[in-house]
Amino acid sequence: MADQDTTHFGYREVPKQEKAKHVGQVFSSVASRYDLMNDLMSMGIHRLWKRFTIELSSVRPGHRILDIAGGTGDLTMQFADRVGTEGEVVLADINQEMLEVGRDRLIDRGYAGRVDYVQANAECLPFPDNYFNAVSIAFGLRNVTDQNLALREMTRVLKPGGKLLILEFSKPVNPLLNKAYDTYSFTALPLMGRLVAGDSESYQYLAESIRMHPDQETLKGMMEEAGLVQCKYHNMTGGIVALHAGIKP
């Protein structure tokens, strides 16, 4: 168990002030191959998880959306399509390399001028109170040093009635699936990382970080403590991934 001055970086304990640097090194390393690795690791199913997230968001034309840890922009593009020219979409990421990959990708796909890009830490968001209709964070919360602080910040920038969506790896509900998933995560992921991205250590960390992330009920409780109501979660692919949603009262 990490003490007050340390936190988990995968299975290692590191000083809290150093976790962001370590996570940054991981994503700087994998940024250029991030999309390819996502497709390989999930066998393309991540696209369905993200599509469900968009459907549950209830985003409409004219809305303001913040996509935290937006990376290469999968959700950002779909949000931009939903809000139209009257809306506003911000892709935020703490990692400069990931942000640049996302910006280049969105420009290549015709989203120039339709999305704002902000390098930001989820623990201290540079946005006013009560600003966004929806905030999303997909596969990013487990990399945040102080998750409770980040949840409070995401709640702060939401408008009353706004929705927070957290798409994240979680705990498989079936013990047999859990065992198979463990085997896959700790053998196949580092191997794919080495062969495709030339970096097995980063994918070893990603596998470990998934195991250290709060389970479904724990995260739901954390969202409630941050001030959200009507918090619920939807297990996908047997609980390998869960989509949590909550409303700001």
Which residues participate in the annotated binding site for S-adenosyl-L-methionine? Answer: 72, 93, 121-122
What are the residue ranges of helices labelled H in 109-215? 147-157, 175-183, 189-192, 200-212
CA distances from 93 to 27, 70, 72, 136, 183 (A): 11, 6, 10, 12, 30
**Residue 211: which of 244, 234, 182 has the closest Cα?**
182
Annotated binding-site ranges:
72, 93, 121-122
Residue 198 main-chain phi, psi, to 5 deg? 65, 30
Decide the pairing of beta strands 158-169 and 132-138: parallel
The residue written with tokens 């009507």 in the block is: 230
Pair 99, 28: CB distance under 8 Å: no
* Paired tokens of 224: 């409630």
Query: CB–CB of 52/236 below 8 Å?
Result: yes
Residue 235 sits at φ, ψ, to 5 deg, of -75, 140
DSSP 62: T
